[in-house]
C-alpha cells in the first residue's frame, strides 16, 4: 500500500493530517473532539501527537486545527505549535511529528479548532545519557465486546509510566452476531461492535478504530503516556500471514491484498505511529527506541512481512492407518523455510542489538507479538484421573466440551500448545536465537497475543539460554482458562514445560516493566473484573532478573 504524501511529512511538520494550513484567516467549522488525544513513537527531540476532529456538519471537507506543546507545569508558553488541515482523505485524523523538544522531559499537548479545544495529553521524550530508571506498561488484546477496558484505566492512574508498549490486537475485526467473538459478554454490556458486520473495507476499518477510541478508559491511557505500537493479526483479520489469513474468504470478502491495504491505511490514520520510512513498505514497521544509556527497545513485525502460513492440526497432521503421523508432522513444522521475520528484518535485529551492546546499554528489549518460548500442550491425563477429566468435561458447554476433548487427545501426542506462536516456526526461532548470540546479548522478550500471563526462560534447541520472556495477558479478550475454569491450565503448562516459569491463563491486565542499571522487574498487574465498575487493581506476581558477569541472572519471584 502507498500512503499519500509520505515524502512531504518532514517538510510540512504535520504527518497524517495533510498539508500546513495557509496563514490567511478563514472560518473554522464547528467540530467536536470525540476520540481523545494520543501520542506515540517518542524520540529524544520529539514525539508524534494525534487527535481526530469530527465536524458537526457532514458536508464539511476541511478543518483547520491548531496544535501546541508545552512543558509540564508551564502552561503560559508553548515550546512548539502549528496549524494543519484535516479532511476526509485521512478520515479527519490529525497526526503531527513534533520536533525540537528536549530529551527526558514531560510535555503537555492539545489541539484547537475554532473555539473548541481538545483535552490535553502528556508525553515524555526519550532520555539521553545517564538514565537511572525506565518504566514501561506492556499491553495487548483489547476486544471491545469482550469486556470493559478497566486495565486501561489502571494504566492511566500509574504514578510513573514513561511509555506504553502495545503488542497488537488493538482492534478486532469480528461482527455483532450473537455467536461472534466476544458477543456473549458484549450483548450484556451494551458493547456492540460498529459496524455490526465483520470489517473488510476502508470505511469499515475506520469506523471500528473510531469506536474503540470513544472508550473513556482507552482515551485516558493514551492521554497518560506515549504509545509505542505494533499490530498483530486482528488489525487486519485473524491469523494473518503474508498472503492470507484464517479469517479471510476471497469468494465473499474479495482480494486479501486489498483488504490488508485498507486495514493498514486506517491503522496509520488512527494510531500515533510514525509513517513508514522512505523506501520501506507499509508492513515494515519494525523500529527501535533508545532509553538513554539504559536500554534499547526493538519493536518487530511477525505477521505481514515474512510469516509463512500457519500449520493446523486438522489439516497438516497426516493420519496413517488411523493413527496420527507425528514424525511427518514434525518434519513439516521444522521445515527450514518456516519463518516469521525474514532475512532483512533479522539482519536489522542483529545489527541493532550489536550496536546497543557495543554502546554499553545493559538491557535490550524485544517487543514481539507472539509467545516465543517452547510450550508443549499439557497432557492432563497424567495429572488427573479419568473420572476427574470426565467430571470436568461434563461441566462444559457442548461446543467447548468437544474442543477440550480434542485438545486432550492431541496433547497426549507431545505437540505444541499453539501453532500460531513461534512454536509453529521453530527454524525461524533458531535463526533469531543465533542472531541474539552473534550480537552477544540475552534480551528481554515481550509477548502479547495469547490472552495469558507468561514468565519464560528462553532456550535454544541445544539448551543454551537465549533470553527471558514476559508475556502480557489481555486487556479484555477471552483467555483460554475462561473456557475451562475448573482446570488449572496455567499450572498444567508450567508442569509440562521446562521453559515456563509461571503462567496464568485467566487473569486480565498488563505487565509493568521497570528497568534499572542492574535489575529488571516485571509486575503482572491485574484487574479484578472486566464486567463491572468499580474494580480492584492488583499485582498477581512479580519477578526480577538481575545482571551478572555472565549476562542475565536467574528469574526470581519476589
Look at residue 20 in the predicted model and tell me its pLDDT.
44
pLDDT above 50 (res 23) = no
- The contacts of residue 437 (CB under 8 Å, 6+ apart) are 464, 466
- Assign 76 a pLDDT band (cuts: 50, 70, 90): low
- Assign 383 a pLDDT band (cuts: 50, 70, 90): confident
**How far, in Å, CA of 152 to CA of 138, rounded?**
11
Torsion of CA 227, 230, 235, 240, to 10 degrees: -170
**How far, in Å, CA of 431 to CA of 526, rounded?**
34
**How far, in Å, CA of 254 to CA of 274, rounded?**
29
User: What is the DSSP code string of 469-535?
Assistant: EEE---SSSPPHHHH-TTS-HHHHHHHH-TTEEEEESS-EEEEEEEEETTEEEEEEEEES-SSSSS-
Q: Is residue 287 within a helix (H) or strand (E), and if so which, with residue range?
A: strand 287-291
Report yes or no on 206 lying in a domain: no
**Average pLDDT rounded to a whole number, residues 359-376:** 98
Residue pLDDT, tens place only, 224-234? 999 999 999 99
Percent of the chain with pLDDT over 70: 95
Is residue 101 a contact partner of residue 125, using CB atoms and an 8 Å limit?
A: yes
**How far, in Å, CA of 33 to CA of 94, rounded?**
11
Q: Is residue 229 within a helix (H) or strand (E), and if so which, with residue range?
A: strand 227-229
Report yes or no on 508 lying in a domain: no
Look at residue 551 in the predicted model and tell me its pLDDT.
87
Report yes or no on 285 lying in a domain: no
Look at residue 18 in the predicted model and tell me its pLDDT.
44
- Assign 525 a pLDDT band (cuts: 50, 70, 90): very high
Look at residue 404 in the predicted model and tell me its pLDDT.
86
Report yes or no on 255 lying in a domain: no
**How far, in Å, CA of 269 to CA of 15, rounded?**
9
**Average pLDDT rounded to a whole number, residues 152-162:** 98
Instruction: Among 187-191, 237-241, 385-389, name the one with the lowest average pLDDT.
Output: 385-389
pLDDT above 60 (res 362) = yes
Report yes or no on 34 lying in a domain: yes
- Assign 27 a pLDDT band (cuts: 50, 70, 90): low
pLDDT above 50 (res 140) = yes
- Assign 437 a pLDDT band (cuts: 50, 70, 90): very high
End-to-end CA distance of the chain: 47
pLDDT above 70 (res 25) = no
Report yes or no on 546 lying in a domain: no
pLDDT above 70 (res 389) = yes
**How far, in Å, CA of 136 to CA of 388, rounded?**
42
**How far, in Å, CA of 443 to CA of 436, rounded?**
8
Residue pLDDT, tens place only, 255-297? 999 999 999 999 999 999 998 877 778 899 999 999 999 999 9
Look at residue 531 in the predicted model and tell me its pLDDT.
98
Instruction: Among 72-86, 352-366, 489-503, name the one with the lowest average pLDDT.
Output: 72-86
3-class SS of residue 418: coil
**Average pLDDT rounded to a whole number, residues 382-388:** 85
Cα→Cα distances 493→485, 500, 508, Å: 15, 7, 18
pTM of the model: 0.94
**How far, in Å, CA of 348 to CA of 114, rounded?**
45
DSSP H stretches of helix in 302-421: 313-316, 326-333, 343-358, 386-394, 398-411
Indicate the number of domains in the chain: 1
- Assign 26 a pLDDT band (cuts: 50, 70, 90): low
pLDDT above 80 (res 12) = no
Instruction: Among 58-62, 244-248, 348-352, name the one with the lowest average pLDDT.
Output: 58-62
pLDDT above 70 (res 17) = no
3-class SS of residue 305: coil
pLDDT above 50 (res 170) = yes
Place of cell 525506565: 134
Residue 8 class from Cβ within 10 Å (0-12 exposed, 13-18 middle, 19+ buried)?
middle
Percent of the chain with pLDDT over 90: 84
DSSP H stretches of helix in 248-295: 250-253, 256-270
**Which residues span the domain enclosing 66?**
1-126
User: What is the DSSP code string of 419-466?
Assistant: TTSGGG-HHHHHHHHHHHHHHT--PEEEE-SSSSEEEEEEE-TTS-EE
% helix, strand, coil for the chain, step of 5 = 25, 25, 45
- Assign 303 a pLDDT band (cuts: 50, 70, 90): very high
Is residue 28 a contact partner of residue 113, using CB atoms and an 8 Å limit?
A: yes
Instruction: Among 181-195, 336-350, 480-494, name the one with the lowest average pLDDT.
Output: 480-494
Report yes or no on 4 lying in a domain: yes
pLDDT above 50 (res 483) = yes
Look at residue 188 in the predicted model and tell me its pLDDT.
97
Look at residue 403 in the predicted model and tell me its pLDDT.
85
Report yes or no on 196 lying in a domain: no
CATH number for the domain that contains residue 110? 2.60.40.380
Amino acid at each position: 500500500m502507498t500512503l499519500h504524501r509520505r515524502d512531504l511529512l518532514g517538510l510540512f511538520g504535520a504527518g497524517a493530517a495533510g498539508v500546513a494550513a495557509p496563514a490567511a484567516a478563514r472560518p473554522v467549522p464547528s467540530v467536536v473532539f470525540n476520540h481523545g488525544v494520543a501520542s506515540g513513537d517518542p524520540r529524544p527531540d520529539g514525539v508524534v501527537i494525534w487527535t481526530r476532529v469530527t465536524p458537526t456538519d457532514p458536508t464539511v471537507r476541511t478543518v483547520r486545527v491548531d496544535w501546541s506543546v508545552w512543558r509540564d507545569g508551564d502552561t503560559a508558553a508553548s515550546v512548539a505549535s502549528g496549524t494543519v488541515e484535516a479532511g476526509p482523505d485521512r478520515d479527519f485524523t490529525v497526526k503531527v511529528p513534533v520536533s525540537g523538544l528536549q530529551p527526558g522531559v514531560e510535555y503537555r499537548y492539545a489541539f484547537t479548532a475554532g473555539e473548541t479545544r481538545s483535552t490535553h495529553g502528556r508525553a515524555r521524550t526519550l532520555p539521553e545519557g545517564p538514565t537511572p530508571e525506565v518504566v514501561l506498561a506492556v499491553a495487548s488484546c483489547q476486544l471491545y465486546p469482550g469486556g470493559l477496558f478497566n486495565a486501561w484505566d489502571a494504566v492511566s492512574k500509574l504514578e510513573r509510566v514513561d511509555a506504553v508498549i502495545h503488542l497488537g490486537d488493538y482492534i478486532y475485526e469480528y461482527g455483532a452476531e450473537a455467536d461472534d467473538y466476544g458477543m456473549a459478554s458484549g450483548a450484556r454490556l451494551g458493547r456492540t461492535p460498529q459496524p455490526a458486520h465483520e470489517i473488510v473495507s476502508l470505511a469499515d476499518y475506520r469506523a471500528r478504530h473510531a469506536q474503540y477510541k470513544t472508550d473513556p478508559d482507552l482515551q485516558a491511557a493514551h492521554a497518560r503516556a506515549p504509545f509505542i505500537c505494533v499490530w498483530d493479526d486482528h488489525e487486519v483479520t485473524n491469523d494473518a500471514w503474508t498472503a492470507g489469513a484464517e479469517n479471510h474468504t476471497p469468494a465473499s470478502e474479495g482480494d486479501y491484498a486489498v483488504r490488508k491495504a485498507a486495514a493498514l491505511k486506517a491503522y496509520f490514520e488512527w494510531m500515533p505511529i510514525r509513517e513508514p520510512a522512505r523506501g520501506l513498505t507499509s508492513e515494515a514497521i519494525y523500529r527501535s527506541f533508545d532509553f538513554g544509556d539504559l536500554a534499547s527497545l526493538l519493536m518487530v513485525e511477525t505477521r505481514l512481512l515474512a510469516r509463512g502460513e500457519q500449520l493446523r492440526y486438522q489439516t497438516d497432521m497426516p493420519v496413517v492407518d488411523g493413527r496420527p503421523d507425528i514424525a511427518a508432522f514434525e518434519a513439516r513444522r521444522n521445515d527450514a523455510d518456516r519463518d516469521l521475520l525474514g532475512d532483512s528484518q533479522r539482519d536489522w535485529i542483529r545489527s541493532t542489538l550489536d550496536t546497543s551492546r557495543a554502546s554499553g546499554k545493559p538491557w535490550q528489549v524485544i517487543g514481539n507479538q507472539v509467545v516465543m518460548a517452547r510450550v508443549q500442550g499439557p497432557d492432563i491425563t497424567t495429572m488427573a484421573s479419568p473420572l476427574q477429566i470426565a467430571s470436568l468435561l461434563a461441566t462444559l458447554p457442548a461446543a467447548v466440551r468437544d474442543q477440550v476433548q480434542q485438545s486432550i487427545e492431541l496433547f497426549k501426542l507431545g505437540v505444541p500448545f499453539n501453532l500460531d506462536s513461534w512454536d509453529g516456526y521453530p527454524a525461524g526461532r533458531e535463526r533469531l536465537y543465533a542472531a541474539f548470540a552473534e550480537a552477544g546479548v540475552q534480551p528481554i522478550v515481550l509477548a502479547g497475543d495469547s490472552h495469558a500471563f507468561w514468565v519464560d526462560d528462553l532456550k535454544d534447541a541445544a539448551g543454551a539460554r537465549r533470553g527471558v520472556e514476559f508475556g502480557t495477558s489481555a486487556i479484555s479478550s477471552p483467555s483460554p482458562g475462561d473456557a475451562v475454569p475448573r482446570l488449572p491450565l496455567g499450572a498444567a503448562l508450567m508442569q509440562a514445560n521446562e521453559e515456563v516459569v509461571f503462567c496464568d491463563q485467566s487473569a486480565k491486565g498488563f505487565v509493568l516493566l521497570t528497568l534499572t542499571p542492574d535489575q529488571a522487574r516485571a509486575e503482572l498487574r491485574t484487574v479484578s473484573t472486566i464486567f463491572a465498575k468499580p474494580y480492584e487493581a492488583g499485582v498477581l506476581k512479580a519477578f526480577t532478573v538481575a545482571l551478572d558477569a555472565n549476562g542475565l541472572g536467574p528469574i526470581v519471584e519476589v
